[in-house]
Structure 1
């Protein structure tokens, strides 16, 4: 019996390793590339975030959220509605493959302009965001907290506003982490402080800290 159990566990581990190494389905990946780019770099002008170098557990969690309706549930979230339609028929194994694929890519190195409120934003960030996202915005995989340094300013702003308005993180729809983020976003004292936080995060990217740890 013990031998059978051990063999079963080894088979399971081997299967998981194959999943991790296997590339996503070409058709599914092609759908992602259409918006997020061949290297997962996103397109800030179109409101599409960079995925390259993001924590895989976070990417998988967000895809599951779109699929189950804990994200993208509000009609005002047009980007979320598009994502919900895209992931609707993606199974769990493919979600894991996509997350692993994009996490393995190198985050883009782009020129960014640091806002004038970055210094003030640092203090607000450290008191509000650092406990989950890290002192330098690197995120923590075990908390499913994303690396913020690889995300552009317009995307960060839109998500924080969505949380404040309940477009994301609503009690009637969101998962526990979404509810938590909405609570944190409501502690930010208005537009000026939100802008200062984003300026600080962008400054981390500008200083060459975008890559994941």
Structure 2
């Protein structure tokens, strides 16, 4: 997450006419943490904390954490926006020095709030949200099955997104570990199509989860699946 989050937090809070104490009360974030962020004593914070602050300030979370909020979707070299996501996927899971621990509830809520970004292809915002969300999900995945379930769901969405944007190598890294290979994963998903309910439901289900088959083969393989009503 950007090291300038404290500066942007201060600017937005002032524009809203809120004191630090009022922001702490409205957001549920401790007054001491808000002070440390704004004074530069803390350079970073968890995504779920940034979300709480952003909601209290009535601004998108990316307003607090994005380096270039006004960058257009079609900016030259836009593919480079996925580099932070690739770095995060490649990096080992480790403690990142942020004092507050991520929680399953907080990461799950952050993921739920990001779903419209996936469905609406809001790539600029996703490129900002995903790195801290992936790091936090990695940490909660080590704490039990609930955390692992959130991490798997995020992995599915991230892999689908990266395949749609032709970041095939990164999409392969994002694939949940239980799918050992594209071919094996495809066979597992094909056996599950018949539990999807209806033809329309199965088509939607395939669209969401077919990305691990590999970008180059995802729809030419899927197109051969015969959908049957239960």
Kindly name which structure, 1 or 2, has the bigger radius of gyration based on alpha carbons. 2
Q: Same fold (TM over 0.5)?
A: no
| TM-score normalized by the length of structure 2 | 0.27
| TM-score normalized by the length of structure 1 | 0.28
Indicate the structure with greater helix content: 2
